[in-house]
Each structure stands twice: as structure tokens, then as C-alpha cells.
Structure 1
Amino acid sequence: MNAQIIFQFKKMLQNLDGCMSKATAYSDGKKFDVNVLASYRLAPDMFPFNKQIQAACDSAKFCAAYLSGQTPPKHDDTEVTWGELRVRIGKVVTYLDTFKESDFANIESVQVKPGWAHGKWLKGEEYLQELAVPNFYFHLMAAYAILRHAGVDIGKQDYIGHLDLKS
């Protein structure tokens, strides 16, 4: 684990917040309440948008906390409005800002016990590569896809975000 994954989590959450800003502009232009998008989902058995945001945020904060030996902040998953969801993203980005490279010096010896694993565990590196990062991107992409499906004018550049291209 290193600061690169924290940078990636932060950047992608900020990009998602930018997509949400575009969704607000879209709803304003179409004259509907943006909050209705929080309950949209891609399929009946998938999480709605608000739960996708909560899950992506949780994946990022849990990863950083567990791999650094800290206890993650608690969020009650009560966000249902657009504003509340954007605040949640902001809180997680601010939390991720508190980490530095040295916080992850012992990743090889960390054991992560997911709550649903009935006491079983993963090595820190396994948790990072096989669960935390894929789970983060799964929920992030689902949220993006919900917005696209709802008609919000976002594209790959909104998802990927700014690139610091050199000449």
C-alpha cells in the first residue's frame, strides 16, 4: 500500500462529485428535483445511487483505515439527498487527506477481517488488491452508470478526470 491508492481514491471520489454537479445542472435544465436520482438503480436487485455512493466511500475509508491499523470513522448511511451525498464524499476525501505513506509501512503484517467473513481474514495486500480496490471501482462505476442511464451528460473524461499531461 502506498500513497498512490489514496490519491486514486480521492481523485475518483472528487470526479464523482463533479459528475453529481453535472447531474444537478441537468436536473435544473429539465426542471426536476435532482434528489429523485438518489433512488435510481440499474436493476431491481442492485443498490440505488445513494447506496452506491455510500459503498464507494466506505470502501475507500475502510481500506485506508484497516491497512494503517486505524479505526475508520463511522457513517450511519442515512444520506438520501444530493447535498447529503456530496457532503459524505467530502468527509471521506478529507479523511483520506490525513494519511501519509508511513501509515502503511506494516501492510505485510496486517490482517483484515471483513465483517461478513465470519472471523476469516485476508492479508493486507490481498485485501487491497482482491477486495478493497475492485469493490471501490464497482460501486463508483455503478454510480456513474446510473447517472448516464438517467440522461446526465457525462462521459469518460468526467469519470477519469484531469490528466497532468506533459509536453
Structure 2
Amino acid sequence: MYAQITQFTKMLHTLSRLLDKAQKHAEANGFEPEVLLNARLSPDMLPLTSQVQMACDTAKLATSVLTGKQAPVFANTEETIPELKVLIEKTIEYVTSMKESDFSGWEDRIVAPSGWAGAFLGKDYFYQHGVPNFYFHMVTAYAILRHKGVRIGKMDYIGQLPFLR
């Protein structure tokens, strides 16, 4: 489990780097970064700011639910790229504060996330909701930036790979 949670950390670092590229793109093209932060893929979808917040919320909630530890509450009032980057860092700090032993028994632990109508086995919650929801918001944030002309590609999304050589 701990290895899967560290994937959240890797991807949150990726999200921060994507926001850096968004900032540079806005500056180079003479518009305010808020244009990108308010962008959506479709009128009925949430904007980039919300996608970043929800990726952070999902990583934080999955970590909390599977360890049984209380997650910090973040207000999700960010309106700028620097504020979103602080949110990402706070989320990474929380996720990386866990030790592998904190996840002991996570697969068979009965979990009932706050606000949900029922309970799950930890593995079902994580694999059926936590992972897909996290990546939904990650890829949507990436797609919004790409759609708006930010020069990013697949390797910007995947990030560094742990090559042996």
C-alpha cells in the first residue's frame, strides 16, 4: 500500500510542475494566469483550480481513510497558482508523514468515509474510488492546460521514471 500512496506524492509533484509551466505560459503570452485557472474542458465541468483542489483532497482523504488518521482540513479557497502550489505542498506533507506501518491491515479494514452512504473494504475503497478519482482530476488538470495551449506533453504528465541505469 505504501508504494501506491507514494504515487500520489509523485503525481502531486508533477501537478506542481505543470502549474509552473502554466504560469510561464501565461507570462510569455501576456495574459493573467487566472485565465487558465478558470478554464474548463466543458461548461459542465469544474475549472482547473477545482481539479487541483480535488486531486489534493482525494490523496489526503485516501490516506486518512486507509490509516484511520484524521486528515487536515484545507479550506480550498486558493485563487492563484502560488496558492495552489502551497496546497499541493501541504497535501504532500500530510501524505508523506505516514509510515508504512500506518497502513497495516488496510486491505481488509472496513472504512466508512465521511459523507458516504456506506462502508467499504479498504482495498475496494482505494482501488474503486481513491485511485480512479485521483487520476481523473490529475488528467483533467493536464488536459485543461494542454487544451489552453500550455506546451506540455506525455512525459510532463508521467514525470521522472526510476530507470536503473
TM-score, length basis structure 2: 0.95
Which residue of 150, 156, 159 corresponds with 2:157? 159
Query: Is residue 2:87 matched to residue 1:88?
Result: yes
* Partner AA of 2:24 in structure 1: A
**How far off is 1:164 after superposition?**
2.1
Higher helix share: 1
Q: Which moved more, 1:129-138 or 1:27-36?
A: 27-36
1:42-64 Cα offsets, whole Å, 9 max, x none, are 01111110110111001101111
RMSD: 1.2
Please, which runs of 5 or more residues in structure 2 have no aligned partner?
A: none
Query: Is residue 2:34 matched to residue 1:35?
Result: yes
Counterpart in the other structure of 2:57: 58
**Residue identity (%):** 43
Please, which runs of 5 or more residues in structure 1 have no aligned partner?
A: none
* Partner AA of 2:59 in structure 1: A
Alpha-carbon separation, structure 1, partners of 2:7 and 2:107: 21
Alpha-carbon separation, structure 1, partners of 2:68 and 2:31: 44
Alpha-carbon separation, structure 2, partners of 1:45 and 1:114: 26
Counterpart in the other structure of 1:3: 2
1:34-87 Cα offsets, whole Å, 9 max, x none, are 122111110111111011011100110111111001111101111111111111
Counterpart in the other structure of 2:109: 110
Contact 1:112 1:123 (C-alpha < 8 Å) held by counterparts: yes
State the number of aligned residues. 165
Alpha-carbon separation, structure 1, partners of 2:113 and 2:104: 21
Change (3 A) 1:108 1:164: closer
